[in-house]
Amino acid sequence: MLNIEYQAELDEKYYKIINAEFNKYADKKGLTCNYIPFAFIAKEEDKVIGIITGNSYYKEIHISDLIVLEEYRNKQIGSKLVKAVEDFYRGKGFENINLTTYDFQAPEFYKKCGFKVEFVRENEENSKLNKYFFIKYF
């Protein structure tokens, strides 16, 4: 009997399954997936003040989450986290970094970081939930 469970966080063993299966399928199509999650943590002393997460796969980097604690915002922490991702992956065969954000979150921030809007998916009920798709090429 099939059993489906919710997992709030994945163990490393599950990421290995994801990577292996993505790579098997990609190999059949003549591609290499190389799905690898990443996280960069900004700390002041031992206190976590910001986190950026995402995945690398195929020829791109995808930023999933970027958060800076409220009392540390507007101090370039977010910009430095984005730059850390760019610096880490630059020159390693990747073509771009992409991400999504909502209108109420950070579209202007990402524009200042050099990202370009690819398109906007408009929300008919609430414009604050317009979803921006961004890209930045290496």
**pLDDT tens digits, residue range 38-71?**
999 999 999 999 999 999 999 999 999 999 999 9
What is residue 105's DSSP assignment? T
Instruction: List domains and CATH numbers for the chain.
Output: 32-137 (3.40.630.30)
* Percent of all residues in the chain with a pLDDT value above 90, rounded to a whole number: 88
Count of CA atoms in the C-beta half-sphere (13 A) of 73:
9
- Prediction pTM value: 0.88
What is the separation of C-alpha 3 from the centre of its chain, rounded to a whole number of angstroms? 30
